[in-house]
Structure 1
Amino acid sequence: MTNTAISPSAVTTAFAPLIEVTEVCKDFGTNRALHNVDLSVAQGEIVVLLGLSGSGKSTLLRHLDGLETPTAGSISVLGRTLTGSSPKELRALRGRIGMIFQQFELVGPLTVLENVLTGALSRLRGPRLGLWAYPKSLRVTALGHLDRVGLLHKAYERADQLSGGQQQRVAIARALMQDPEILLADEPVASLDPESSAQVMALIREIAADRGLTVVCSLHQVELALDWGDRVVGLRAGEVVLDTPTAELSREGAMAIYRQVAAETGEHDLLARSGMW
């Protein structure tokens, strides 16, 4: 079956796009993870990458942060073309991009405040061992970010003593320490219960609105994507198959991404499991 992408309905903006992805392909050996992906994200947009595991969402996010190099195509972020950039240039660019991960990526034995302070390491010279190795101004800033995410009272507790939802809030505060212009979030609530998920996503949106952040977030929950994002970009088998504002997208329209996967693979899977193929 030939997959035809739904024509994008771009959000009108007076600003040039902060992210431009043009005909990007990514191969891992014989496996093609991304295929001719085009994506443009404007300043202040909140974009959700929606799709099943293995659809290419995380791979695309890693390209936007310069952690992966495309096999073909080009990527521009914050006015800089990533392909061909030196390691020094990429480090400088990553200092302007915050990243939130599914598994939090905190250092459990360290205090919450120390974990937040690590978000400022790209601006400092040399290693920092212990809380007092950081300048007072940064400690004050980190405490302010913890206050913003509702965890000031947990500043001196070990990070691994917090709940999952609290740890993700710490990760958000750590990302804010970079003073980012773009925030990338890779399945940030996949490990959380529904109540914590709603709280974390609401917090990200509030902070993005307050600070004028551009956000690209991967999710697999349709309802959450529709409630939270300005725009949904659907990925299937490494290809963009849907790109539309959430205001113009129904739940049924979003679910079509998953139904088409089932329709295309279901017969083969049934035959394979039955031993007939």
Structure 2
Amino acid sequence: MTSATTTPNTSTPVISTTDVTKDFGRMRALREVSVTVQPGEVVALLGRSGSGKSTLLRHLNGLERPTSGAITVLGENVTTLRPKALRALRRRVGIIFQQFELVGSLTVLENVLTGTLSTLRGPRLGLWSYPRSSRLTALGHLERVGLLEKAYNRADQLSGGQQQRVAIARALMQNPEILLADEPVASLDPDSSDQVMRLIREIAADEGLTVICSLHQVDLALTWSDRVIGLRHGEVVLNTSTVDLDKSQVMEIYGRVASSTAELTAIETELGSIDVTDSAVVDILRGSPHS
């Protein structure tokens, strides 16, 4: 059924949430969410827009604080971390955004190098202001994602799929232990989507990364993840291995069985999505706290 071949480590979870509830005014976005993720596991979050996928991801690196409940990431209680400790944790957690969040006027290489901003002191103006060791590492990551020949191209000259691969290379500059991906293929065509998810899966296996990826493409989730966590109205309604998991079972997350992934995508488009703010993006890249 699935192309996922890595056997996740069953030691102490690297992520654990216990009865996490999040209220935005009178709206309850998460309802007593309790999940664990093991080292090296690739987990897909599925659900309609507004189901709580993005909100849950934002809690895992402290961009949101829960109304109640506890969150532990890499042994740290995220809900009580002070700013300095939160910055240190974020350096261990990479993130990939739906809209890539690249600076189009900069070269591909410079965009990748921004992944080191949380570890460098002072502003960086231009490619040569970064240490030589960082430039070499960035080139290595571009080679890993198949874009070494594009290193000195402007980022806005690339296709959507290529820009997302640049974003992956940027996240790898942090040498993360966990990779959070918030709808990383939502704006890509099917072929590019499959290529990006294949790449994420391969890198996770090669680097021993734990990956939490929110998706709306059921086929991709079944193909490239070890486990599916389904959310509906902020509640966990499915939490199971993808081995022998039937697509119709997954579609129950959405309250009815859509006839195709295309129909599901249309539903997602109609309902809209939760975007990460520009200020939050800057905070993550610089390792700054965000309240």
Q: Under a length normalisation based on structure 1, what TM-score does the superposition of the two structures give? A: 0.89
Shift of 1:260: 4.4
CA displacement, residues 136-161 of structure 1 (integer Å, 9 cap, x when unaligned): 00000000000000000000111011
CA displacement, residues 198-243 of structure 1 (integer Å, 9 cap, x when unaligned): 0000000000000000000000111111011000000000000000
Q: Is the 8 A contact 2:9 2:41 kept in 1?
A: no
Tell me whether 1:191 sits opposite 2:187 in the alignment: yes
Q: Distance in 2 between matches of 1:164 and 1:260?
A: 31
Q: Which residue of 2 aligns with 1:6?
A: none
Q: Which residue of 1 aligns with 2:159?
A: 163
Q: Which residue of 1 aligns with 2:148?
A: 152
Q: Give aligned pairs, total.
A: 252
Closer, same or farther: CA 202–12 of 1 in aligned 2, 3 Å: closer
Amino acid corresponding to residue 127 of structure 1 in structure 2: P
Amino acid corresponding to residue 86 of structure 1 in structure 2: R
Tell me whether 1:219 sits opposite 2:218 in the alignment: no
Closer, same or farther: CA 172–12 of 1 in aligned 2, 3 Å: closer
Q: Distance in 2 between matches of 1:140 and 1:221?
A: 35
Shift of 1:13: 3.9
Select the residue among 248, 254, 262 that pairs with 2:250.
Answer: 254
Q: Which residue of 1 aligns with 2:105?
A: 109
Tell me whether 1:45 sits opposite 2:41 in the alignment: yes
Q: Distance in 1 between matches of 2:257 and 2:10?
A: 37
Question: Any residues of structure 2 matched to 1:64-75 within 5 Å, and which?
Answer: 64-75=60-71
Closer, same or farther: CA 13–114 of 1 in aligned 2, 3 Å: closer
Q: Is the 8 A contact 2:94 2:176 kept in 1?
A: yes
Amino acid corresponding to residue 117 of structure 1 in structure 2: L
Select the residue among 78, 83, 97 that pairs with 1:82.
Answer: 78
Q: Is the 8 A contact 2:8 2:41 kept in 1?
A: no
Q: Is the 8 A contact 2:9 2:40 kept in 1?
A: no
Q: Is the 8 A contact 2:179 2:209 kept in 1?
A: yes
SS at match of 1:140: helix
Q: Which residue of 2 aligns with 1:28?
A: 24
Q: Distance in 1 between matches of 2:180 and 2:127?
A: 27
SS at match of 1:110: coil
Q: Which residue of 1 aligns with 2:132?
A: 136
Q: Distance in 2 between matches of 1:117 and 1:67?
A: 22
Shift of 1:126: 1.1
Shift of 1:258: 1.4
Q: Distance in 1 between matches of 2:116 and 2:176?
A: 11
Tell me whether 1:229 sits opposite 2:219 in the alignment: no
Shift of 1:246: 0.3
Amino acid corresponding to residue 17 of structure 1 in structure 2: P
SS at match of 1:34: strand
Q: Distance in 2 between matches of 1:143 and 1:162?
A: 17
Amino acid corresponding to residue 72 of structure 1 in structure 2: S
Say which is worse superposed, 164-173 or 123-132, in terms of deviation.
123-132
CA displacement, residues 47-99 of structure 1 (integer Å, 9 cap, x when unaligned): 00000111000000000011100000000000000112111111110000010
Shift of 1:257: 1.1
Q: Which residue of 1 aligns with 2:287?
A: none
Q: Distance in 2 between matches of 1:31 and 1:211?
A: 39
Quick check: which has more Rg, 1 or 2? 1
Shift of 1:12: 7.3
Shift of 1:196: 0.3
Shift of 1:261: 9.1
Select the residue among 54, 58, 61 that pairs with 2:57.
Answer: 61
RMSD across aligned C-alpha pairs, in angstroms? Answer: 1.3
Amino acid corresponding to residue 234 of structure 1 in structure 2: G
Q: Percent identity?
A: 72
Q: Distance in 2 between matches of 1:82 and 1:255?
A: 32
Q: Distance in 1 between matches of 2:228 and 2:138?
A: 32
Structure 1 portions without partners, runs of 5+: 1-10, 263-277
